[in-house]
Amino acid sequence: MSQHAESNHIVEAGYNFAYLDEQTKRSLRRGLLKAVAIPGFQVPFGGREMPLPYGWGTGGMQVTAAVLGRDDVLKVIDQGADDTTNAVSIRRFFTRTAGVETTERTHHASIIQTRHRIPETALRSGQIMVFQVPIPEPLRFIEPSDSETRAMHALNDYGVMHVKLYEDIATYGHIATTYAYPVMVDQRYVMDPSPIPKFDNPKLNMSPALMLFGAGREKRLYALPPYTRVQSLDFEDHPFELPKWEQSCAFCHSTESYLDELIVDDEGTRQFVCSDTDYCSQRCNEQEALA
C-alpha cells in the first residue's frame, strides 16, 4: 500500500481529506449553518455510508469530517474515556484519512467528538463539540408519527413532553430520567441532548463552545451556538435536580466529577472512578507533582 506523509502524519492514499468527498462536506456544512441559525431545530441531511455500522457514531463522524480543517486538533471520547474501542478507532480513522493532530487533553483540542459525555474540564470559546446521536427526536417515544412530531415542533406544541416526566413521578416518586434528559433550547425548541447523563445538562447552558449534533441513522443535524440558553424540562413542584453520590474517584478522589461504577473482583467489590479519563489523569498528575 502506498502511503505519503502530510503535515507530519501518515495519510492513506486514495482518500479525500477526512474521507468524505468535498460536495458531501459542503452539503453537511450548509445543513450545519442552518442548524446553528435555528438552535435546537433538526435539519435533515443526506447521510452517507460510513465504513462502520449505524450506532457506532456515523452521524458524529460525518459532522466531524465536515468541520475538520488541517490545523484542527481532534479529541474523541466514548463515555468520557479516550481509550475505549469506539474512541480509539474513530481517532485512528481521522488520523489516517485526514492526517490531523489528535490529543487526549480537553483544552488542547479544537474539535471534540463525543459519545454520551461532555468533558469535566470547562470548554472554552472556539472549541467545537460533536455529539453522536442515536435518536434525535425527543418526542418519538410518545408520538411515533414523524409528520406529527414535525408539526408539534413547528407549533411549539410540547405538552406531551411533560407526560413522560409525569409518568416518572407517578411511578418512582421523582423524575427518573437520568440520561437523554429533554431540554428547551432558547425557549423555543425541545431538544434531545443525545444520551448524555443529566449530570451534564447544565454544561449545555450558556456554553462558550459550539455544540453540533449528528444522527447518522436518522440523518438529522442540530446545533447549539455558543452562549445559548438551555433549560432542562421539569415541574414547578419537582424541579430539575442533579444526581448526588457519596463516593469519590478511587484514583483522583474527585467528588465533583461523574463516576463510573466498576466491579473489580469475583467478590463483587466495587470501585468508583471518573468517567472522564483525561480529567482524572490530569488531577492524578497534579497530585503527584505536589507530593
Partner 1 sequence: MNPLLSVRDLTLLYGPEKGCQGVSFDLYPGEVLGIVGESGSGKSTLLSVLSGRNRPDCGQVFYHCPQTGSIDLYQASEAERRNLLRTQWGFVEQNPRDGLRMNVSAGANIGERLMAQGVRHYGQLRQAGLQWLKQVEIDPSRIDDLPRTFSGGMQQRLQIARNLVSSPKLMFMDEPTGGLDVSVQAHLLDLLRRIVRELQLAVVIVTHDLAVARLLADRLMVMRRSRVVEAGLTDQILDDPQHAYSQLLVSSVLQP
By CB under 8 A, name the binding residues for partner 1. Answer: 142, 151, 155-157, 159-160, 162-164, 166-167, 169-171, 234-238
Number of DSSP helices (H) and strands (E) in the chain, helices first: 7, 14
For the question of residue 274 being annotated catalytic, the response is yes
Q: Which of 31, 57, 60, 274 is catalytic?
A: 274
Between 183 and 249, CB nearer to partner 1? 183
Q: How near is the Cβ of 255 to partner 1 at its closest, in Å?
A: 31
Q: How near is the Cβ of 231 to partner 1 at its closest, in Å?
A: 12
Q: How near is the Cβ of 159 to partner 1 at its closest, in Å?
A: 3
d(CA 185, CA 201): 12
Cell numbers linked to 256: 465533583
For the question of residue 69 being annotated catalytic, the response is no
Q: How near is the Cβ of 49 to partner 1 at its closest, in Å?
A: 34
For the question of residue 55 being annotated catalytic, the response is no
Between 8 and 171, CB nearer to partner 1? 171
Between 96 and 238, CB nearer to partner 1? 238
d(CA 32, CA 43): 8
CA distances from 198 to 177, 178, 190, 194 (A): 8, 5, 15, 10
Report yes or no: 41 and 153 within 8 Å, Cβ to Cβ: yes
d(CA 68, CA 235): 40
Among residues 193, 222, 228, which one has the least CA distance to residue 208? 228
Q: Which of 14, 31, 40, 284 is catalytic?
A: 40
Q: How near is the Cβ of 151 to partner 1 at its closest, in Å?
A: 7
Q: Which of 31, 99, 214, 252 is catalytic?
A: 252
| Cα Rg, the chain, nearest whole Å | 20
Beta bridge partners of 44: 220
Report yes or no: 99 and 9 within 8 Å, Cβ to Cβ: yes
For the question of residue 57 being annotated catalytic, the response is no
Q: Which helix (H) or strand (E) holds 280?
A: helix 277-290
Distance of CA 278 to the CA centre of its chain: 16
Between 29 and 238, CB nearer to partner 1? 238
d(CA 47, CA 74): 22
Residues 6+ apart with CB under 8 A from 1: 12, 13
Between 122 and 154, CB nearer to partner 1? 154
Q: Which of 46, 159, 280, 284 is catalytic?
A: 280
**Which phi and psi angles does 239 have, rounded to 5°?**
-70, 160
Q: How near is the Cβ of 193 to partner 1 at its closest, in Å?
A: 20
Q: Which of 46, 69, 249, 284 is catalytic?
A: 249
Between 107 and 164, CB nearer to partner 1? 164
For the question of residue 280 being annotated catalytic, the response is yes
Which active-site residues does the annotation give? Answer: 40, 249, 252, 274, 280
